[in-house]
Copies of this chain bind each other. A is one copy, B any other.
Amino acid sequence: MNTRFLDACWGKQVDRTPVWLMRQAGRYLPEYMAVRSKCTFLELCKTPELAAQVTLQPVDILGVDAAILFSDILTPVEPMGMKLDFVPGPVFENPVRSMADVEKLRIPCMEQDVPYVLETLRILRRELAKKVPLIGFGGAPFTLACYMVEGKGSKDFAQIKRMMYTAPDVYAALMEKITTMSVEYLNAQIAAGAQVIQIFDTWGGILSPADYRRYVLPYSTRLISALNRIQTPVIHFVKGSGTMLDTVREAGGDVMGLDWHVSLAAARNSLGPAMAVQGNLDPTVLFGTQAIIEREVSRVLEENAGRPGFIFNLGHGILPTVPAENARFMVECVHRLSQS
């Protein structure tokens, strides 16, 4: 068992910097497309054998140090009573806009409502036994609320912010309910075999630091503190949080995910040695030549300056049109250049 990734999550010294890629099971891999061509995205998420199969692909093809459950952050939102479609972006037919809408939402029973997620994790733990650790994940309450209130992707998130500013009781009730669901969902993933949990707050960075503190931090803090973390480190990734790392760290978590907008050196200096970090290569660097990829991997490693508690990753998900060979080369560079 390659424990480099788990060791780094706990801040321990490692022989080489561990590396994985957000969305590493995905469209840029021909092997993924071969599976995906036979079913819809949601069918793939809901069929444990297939979800497990695509989860495992990048472990062998890229040589990454961790596997991450193939699923979508909105999977547990659907059984709350929200009809979900992908066109290809996620769309909810009936967005949440009123207290009546919030009251209608139910807390799913995980073993009954998302059995495929838990079964996928069980299969993966068996398959990965002698390979690499398994990451489970979920959306942060605020990011799930953004999708549930906007109903689809948004440019300025006017609906969710309007709710925050003009109907704070509705907003709070919604966030409470999502947080309760998320605690149960992620603890169920841990019980089913997830060895690390990553929380994706894709939209936490759309707020001012003051609004993040007021409207998001209490819920993310409650979520993280309610997880069974004794043996399971938590990675907290708030995209666009480079201007408020000190606030985000108050939510807890063992590893802070960083996007590429922040200098890794500056972030580590500001967070101090007790907080492990994960990141933060610009995903578009993988469109570059091998010389550019090696230069940029090397720059990120130099910014980390050998500090323990570092996991190499992209600053956001790998892009669908990246050549798989470039992703493989990036992983190889990280291992080669970080060898102690």
Contact = CB atoms under 8 A, between A and B. Distances in A.
B156 A207 contact: no
A102 B256 CA distance: 42
A237 to B, nearest CB: 16
Given A156-B283, A157-B284, A158-B319, 17 more contacts: A156-B319, A158-B284, A158-B287, A158-B321, A162-B284, A165-B285, A166-B289, A166-B292, A208-B261, A208-B263, A208-B282, A208-B315, A209-B266, A242-B243, A243-B243, A243-B263, A243-B266
A106 to B, nearest CB: 30
A335 to B, nearest CB: 22
Interface string A21-54: 0000000000000000000000000000000000
A158 B285 CA distance: 9
Interface residues on A, range: 35 or more
Nearest to A242: B243
Pick the most buried of A156, A284, A288: most chain B CB atoms within 10 A of its CB.
A284
A74 to B, nearest CB: 19
Given A158-B287, A158-B319, A207 B282 contact: yes
A329 interface: no
Contacts of A282: 161, 207-208, 211
A210 interface: yes
A240 interface: yes
Contact of A261 (B243, B260, B263, B285): B243
A262 interface: yes
Interface of A: 156-158, 161-162, 165-166, 205, 207-211, 240, 242-244, 260-263, 266, 280, 282-285, 287-289, 292, 299, 315, 319, 321
Contacts of A244: 261, 263
A122 to B, nearest CB: 35
B209 A166 contact: no
A171 to B, nearest CB: 12
Contacts of A299: 210
Contacts of A211: 282
A262 B243 contact: yes
B263 A165 contact: no
